Amino acid sequence: MSRDVNNKYWDKELETMPREELEKKQLEDLKEIVQFAYDHAPYYKRSFDAAGVKPSDIKTLKDIQKFPFIDKRTQRDTQGVGSFLGELCAVPEEDVVFISTSSGSTGVPTMSPFTKKDFDEFQETESRWFWQVGMRPSDRYVHALNFSLYVGGPDVIGAQNLGALCIWGGTLPSERLLYVLKTYQPTVIWTSPSYAWQLGEKALKSGIDPKKDLNIKKIIVAGELGGSIEATRHAIEELWGAEVYDFYGLSDIFGACAAMCEAKNGLHIAENHILVETVDIHTGEVLEPGQVGELVFTTLRKHARPLIRFRTGDIGWIDTTPCSCGRTHGRIHINGRKDDMFIVSAVNVFPSDIEAVIRDLHGITGEYLIRVFEKDFTCKYSVEIEKNSDNPASDDAVAAEVSAALKARIGVKPAQVVVHPDGGLNTRSEHKSKRIIDERNLSYDI
């Protein structure tokens, strides 16, 4: 199927479908997938029966609220039970063509299986997101994401399906990747926001000006919150002279859950695949669209391992009002991870709030490290930053400026701001960066 490259939509009928029609289709798929999960996944049969609910209870979209939640612990506890793929899997292993795994950062890595149909729809959605940010068959695209079990690895296929010339970069060392960017002159790259920043810095230090010597027009970022933090996004855009777009994926579902459009006001979520709820982080009470809470996803079309009311651990909200781009699928806004949030003097603090401050200040490199600890039975935090080599201000003056900016933005100042010279923090990595160290004796179960 050939597409008009001037058409802003990959699938206009789907992307601009009136919400009434979209929700009608969601309800049809919800009824089917809940019944399928009950009939074929041992865990759901046991769980629904114990909760006193049955698939026929689904009459409206809100009826999903009658069903029990699942979470990462559910996945870990059922994985490998009864079969290799476990009790959440609803198809025989011979129907599964691909699995990805989570990073295991909050526990044992969990597998995410796909049937051939699941996988094809995953990549069809990815093609839609690529088209949405402006990728066209004339583009040269570098996929600089990890291919080793990571759910974002196969997304390069979505770019190939679109017709772009694809370079499977993977986790190339920076020097090699910069050679690829300079020699092949690609126009689009996808990596993490921290690595996009660090790669641009390394380019400058090696005598390559990303704006003049390279041809990158669009940078897609995912895996961290930076792409949705305006200060971080603008800093990367200024460094590269390119547009930055944030994507969002979950290994539990697929790597193509949501993506920015040209409005850059949240990320359109694939509501033809995912039913979104927002719930109170403590009580599980369902909140109205626009209210901040934990995002809960129900897969509508993934059959290998349906997820019914999966608590993602991501804190944010959904906006279902019309977007200026014309698309009707809701936009999610992510504030942070539930397990990364900490409370200081009754204030909820997310690392993303701290990053927004650090990236917006002049005279520092933008690198940072957060330490969360307890003192006198109270939660405290400190921030470590790097001062630019040409910044004449004293370390004390820089620390005071950062502390005041954090107090103004967040409401609570850090217990300490530690100032390092440029390059003094060990936070730079080839891809994701570790930015928070929790020194409290706490246990997180997501």
> pLDDT per position in the chain (446 positions), as tens?
578 999 999 999 999 999 999 999 999 999 999 999 999 999 999 999 999 999 999 999 999 999 999 998 899 899 999 999 999 999 999 999 999 987 655 456 789 999 999 999 999 999 999 999 999 999 999 999 988 888 999 999 999 999 999 999 998 999 999 999 999 999 999 998 888 988 999 999 999 999 999 999 999 999 888 888 888 899 999 999 999 999 999 989 998 999 999 999 999 999 999 999 999 998 999 999 999 999 999 999 999 999 999 999 999 999 999 999 999 999 999 988 887 778 787 677 878 788 888 988 999 998 999 999 988 767 889 999 999 989 999 999 999 999 999 998 888 889 999 999 998 887 776 556 678 888 887 543 43
Q: pTM for this one?
A: 0.83
User: Which residues are 343's β-sheet partners?
Assistant: 348
User: Which residues are 384's β-sheet partners?
Assistant: 369, 418
d(CA 48, CA 68): 7
d(CA 91, CA 303): 7
Quote the pLDDT of residue 436: 85
Any idea which fold 1-335 has? Answer: Rossmann fold (3.40.50)
Structure token digits, residue 168: 């499977």
Any idea which fold 342-438 has? Answer: GMP Synthetase; Chain A, domain 3 (3.30.300)
Q: Please, are residues 130 and 162 in contact by the beta-carbon 8 Å criterion?
A: yes
Q: Which of 306, 303, 255, 297 is nearest to 100 (CA)?
A: 255
Angle of helix 193-205 relative to helix 174-184, nearest 10 degrees, comes to: 80
Structure token digits, residue 359: 């990236």
Quote the pLDDT of residue 4: 93
d(CA 116, CA 353): 40
Backbone CA torsion sign across 57, 59, 65, 70: positive
Find the radius of gyration of the CA atoms of the chain.
22
d(CA 425, CA 420): 7
List where CATH 3.30.300.30 sits in the chain: 342-438
Q: Please, are residues 140 and 168 in contact by the beta-carbon 8 Å criterion?
A: no
List where CATH 3.40.50.12780 sits in the chain: 1-335
Those residues with Cβ within 8 angstroms of residue 110's Cβ, 6 or more apart along the chain or in another chain: 72, 75, 76, 79, 101, 102, 104, 251, 252
Q: Please, are residues 276 and 248 in contact by the beta-carbon 8 Å criterion?
A: no
Query: What are the contacts of 430-433 at 24+ separation with CB within 8 A?
Result: 430/171, 430/173, 430/174, 430/195, 431/145, 431/146, 431/171, 431/191, 431/192, 431/194, 431/195, 431/223, 432/192, 432/194, 432/195, 432/223, 432/224, 433/192, 433/194, 433/195, 433/198, 433/224
d(CA 379, CA 381): 7
